[in-house]
Amino acid sequence: SAWLNNNQLYKFSYTTEVLVGKAKGSKQSNSGYRISSDVGVNLAWRDPGSKDDQLIQILSNVRIEPLSQRPKEKNVLYGSTAESVFGKKKLAALTKPFFVHLKNGKTKAFYSYWTEPGSVKNLKRGLASLLQLQHLTLIFVCDQDQEPGDVLGVNRKSRSVTVFTLEDGFIRSAVAEESHGLAVNVRRSVSAKVLSRQTLTRTGTEAGPPEAAGKDVSSVVKSIDDKLAAVGVVAEKVKTYCNGCPSLFEHWQTQQKQLEPAGLSKATAPRSFLALIQSIRKASKVEILKVLKSASKTSLPQVVDAVTSAQTEASLDAMLEFLNFKDSKSFVLQERFLYACGFSSHPNEKMLKALLDISKGKIGSTDIEETVVIIMGALVNKLCQKGGCNLPVKLLKVPEKMILEGPESTQVDSKVQMYLLALKNSLLPEAIPIFTKYAESEVGAYSTIALSSLQRYDVKFMTKAVKQTVNRVYHQSRRIYEKNVRAAAADVILSSNPSYMEVKNLLLSIGNLPHELNKYMVSKIQDILRFHMSASKVIRHVMEDMNSHNYNRFAKVGSSSSFSGFMAQSADVTSTYSLDILYSGSGILRRSNMNIYGASKGATLHGLQVAIEAQGMESMIAATPDEGEEDLESFAGMSALLFDVQLRPVTFFKGYSDLMSKMFSMSGEPMNVVKGLILLTDHSEVLQLQSGLRVGAEFQGGLAIDISGGMEVSLWYRESKTSVNNRGALVVMGNVTVDTDFMKTGVEVSFETEASLDFVTTVQFSEYPFLVCIQMDKATFPYRYESMTKYESLSSGKTVMLSKKKKRRLPGSEFPLHQENSNMCNRVFGPSW
Q: Could you tell me the residue ranges of all domains in the chain? A: 8-231, 509-558, 560-665
Q: Say which amino acid occupies 1.
A: S
Could you give the CA distance from residue 577 to residue 595 in angstroms, rounded to a whole number?
Answer: 5
Asked whether 356 and 380 are in contact (CB, 8 A), the reply is no
CATH of domain 560-665: 2.20.50.20
Q: Which residues pair with 193 in a beta bridge?
A: 21, 181
Task: Please determine, for residue 676, whether its predicted confidence score (pLDDT) is greater than 70.
Answer: yes
**Confidence band (pLDDT; 50, 70, 90) for 187?**
confident
Please list, in sequence order, all residues whose beta carbon lies within 8 angstroms of the beta carbon of residue 242, skipping any fewer than 6 positions away: none
| Average of per-residue pLDDT values in the chain | 85
Q: Which residues pair with 31 in a beta bridge?
A: 20
C-alpha span between 161 and 540 (Å, rounded): 53
The answer to which of 47-51, 140-144, 298-302, 626-630 has the lowest mean pLDDT is: 140-144
Pairwise CA distance, residues 175 & 65, whole Å: 19
Cis peptide before 769 (omega within 30 of 0): yes
CA distances (Å), origin 218, targets 127, 223, 228: 22, 9, 10
In whole angstroms, give the CA distance from residue 589 to residue 647: 22
The residue-averaged pLDDT of 75-79 equals 87
Question: What is the pLDDT, as a whole number, of residue 808?
Answer: 67
Amino acid at 687: L
Q: Does the pLDDT value for residue 652 go beyond 50?
A: yes
Q: In Å, how far from its chain's centre is CA 14?
A: 42
Reported confidence tier of residue 768, pLDDT bands at 50, 70, 90: low
pLDDT tens digit sequence for 713-735? 776 777 777 788 888 888 889 99
CA 236 to chain centre: 30
Q: Residue 422's pLDDT is what?
A: 95
The mean per-residue pLDDT over the stretch 441-460 comes to 93
Residue 828 has pLDDT above 80, yes or no: no
> What pLDDT was estimated at residue 338?
96
Contact 370, 648 (CB under 8 A): yes
Return the pLDDT at 73.
Answer: 83
| pLDDT higher than threshold 70 for residue 342 | yes
Q: Which of the residue ranges 395-399, 415-419, 678-682 would you say has the lowest mean pLDDT?
A: 395-399
pLDDT of residue 134: 54
Closest CA to 672 of 426, 319, 331: 331
* 783/445: higher pLDDT: 445
- Establish how many alpha carbons lie within 13 A of residue 592's alpha carbon, considering only the half-sphere containing its beta carbon: 24
657 HSE (CA, 13 A, CB side): 0
Query: In the predicted model, what is the mean pLDDT of residues 272-286?
Result: 93
Residue scoring higher pLDDT (739 or 474): 474
- What's the N-to-C CA distance of the chain in angstroms? 82
CATH T-level fold of 8-231: Lipovitellin-phosvitin complex; beta-sheet shell regions (2.30.230)
Overall average pLDDT of the 358-378 stretch: 93
- pTM given for the model: 0.87
Kindly state the average pLDDT of the residues 202-217.
89
More confident of the two residues 308 and 681: 308
Q: What percent of the chain stands above pLDDT 90?
A: 41
The residues that bridge with 684 in the sheet, in sequence order, are 698
Single out the residue of 124, 145, 136 nearest to residue 172, CA to CA. Answer: 136
Looking at residue 138, its pLDDT comes to: 46
Q: Which of 768, 794, 287, 806 is nearest to 559 (CA)?
A: 768
Say yes or no to pLDDT of 283 above 60.
yes
**pLDDT band of 497, cuts 50, 70, 90:** very high
**DSSP-assigned letters across all residues of 460-471:** GG--HHHHHHHH
pLDDT at position 137: 44
Q: What is the chain's length?
A: 833
Whether residue 147 is predicted with pLDDT greater than 60 in this model: the reply is: no
Largest CA distance in the chain: 110
Query: How does pLDDT run across 542-578, given as a tens digit for each residue?
Result: 888 766 566 666 766 788 888 888 877 777 778 888 8
The CA distance from 592 to 107, in Å, is 67
